[in-house]
Structure 1
Amino acid sequence: MIRPTVRAFLSRWAEVGAALLALALGLWTASLGGLVLIPFGLALAAAAGGWALLALRRARFRGDPGAPGLVELDEARLRYLHPKLGGEIALHDLAELRLVSLRGRQVWHLQDLSGRALLIPLDAAGAADLFDAFAALPGLSSHDLVAALAGSAAPTGSTLPAVSLRQVTVWRRSGSGLRRV
């Protein structure tokens, strides 16, 4: 009954809407007054405000799955299931995270401490789960992830077979490349 475009829009922004409703509930509770309701309402509004900020960043990170493959995140192991380009990297072995724009398509370039690389398209199914996984890396914030996406929009309109490569290093582990064997 609901159009697919409307359903996709609602699913993308549902968490933001829920957080804003919780924020409104907290402000309404604080407006009732009283020794208990004012602090409770303000605490609820503050928590909901933080939740709304993270939900907004997640919604901007999320896109429609259009690339082949599936991203899985299980026990801090990141898997990209694809017949030719698939692979697996443990998050604690991750040495570098780059955002690469290649011929109009953006991909995450993950490199582990041994030098192996894994390419994951931004629009692969399940790629939205990478937001929380990457935000947990030491020294990388959710704001940095969103800024990297905003600052490196893929070029459009080019159908030439020439390679147009643009890379942005989003995160690098301090001391990466130095691993005892």
Structure 2
Amino acid sequence: MIRPEARAAFARWSEALWGCGVLALGLYWAFFTGGGLLHWLGYAVALAGGLLLLAGIQRGRFRTGSGGPGIVRVIEGRITYMGPLTGGVADLDALTRLELDPSGKPAHWMLHQAGQPTLAIPVNATGGEVLFDAFSALPGLQTERMLSVLNGTSREVVTLWQEPTSRIAHLRLH
């Protein structure tokens, strides 16, 4: 009854749509219920709906599709990718660099760890939407930059995050 393209669009933007609904309900309560507690509660609900809308827009921009090769799981900071040709595991705490390689079909997240082979995950891998929260946990990652590169037209590998260099390589006493 619903076309597959419309169903995919609703699924991609579902959080943003929920945010619009909560925002509309909050604004209705705030402006059309007169006074009292429901009036003030409406402002709080509208604020929550606005925040949900913004988060939903970010998540919708991150979802570039599904049904791609492989399956992604994130459990307690460990990213697991099981693909038809490759696969692997990367711990968020052990990541040294996160890159996006848009030159492939589809584009790939490139997760680098010291002493381990690079883990390449297609952006449209099944379950790949959980990577948004995982990547957001990286200290200093600029979410808006990540989303603009992901949805951009560049064909070059882009480093999105690199481990902060807090270690002193050489300490002189004299």
TM-score (normalizing by structure 2): 0.86
Q: Classify the secondary structure of the residue corresponding to 2:139.
A: coil
Shift of 1:145: 2.2
Identity level (%):
39
- Say whether 1:20 aligns with 2:20: yes
2:144 paired residue number: 143
Q: How is 1:153-164 mapped onto 2 (pairs within 5 angstroms)?
A: 153=153
- After the TM superposition, which of the residue ranges 103-112 and 43-52 deviates more from structure 2? 103-112
Q: Residues of 2 paired with 1:79 and 1:104: CA distance?
A: 21
Shift of 1:110: 0.5
Identify which of 137, 147, 158 aligns with 1:168.
Answer: 158
Residue type of the alignment partner of 1:50: L
Q: How is 1:1-181 mapped onto 2 (pairs within 5 angstroms)?
A: 1-31=1-31, 32-151=33-152, 153=153, 166-175=156-165
Deviations 1:16-57 (A, max 9, x none): 111100001111111123242333211111111111011011
Q: Classify the secondary structure of the residue corresponding to 1:42.
A: helix
Aligned length: 168
Residue type of the alignment partner of 2:160: V
Paired residues of 1:100 and 1:167 also in contact (CA < 8 A): yes
* Gap regions ≥5 residues in structure 2: 169-174
* Gap regions ≥5 residues in structure 1: 156-165
Q: Residues of 1 paired with 2:105 and 2:69: CA distance?
A: 15
Shift of 1:171: 0.7
Q: Classify the secondary structure of the residue corresponding to 1:102.
A: coil
Q: Residues of 2 paired with 1:33 and 1:114: CA distance?
A: 64
RMSD (CA atoms) = 2.2
Q: Residues of 1 paired with 2:162 and 2:35: CA distance?
A: 50
Structure 1 residues 103, 94: closer, same or farther in 2, change over 3 A? closer
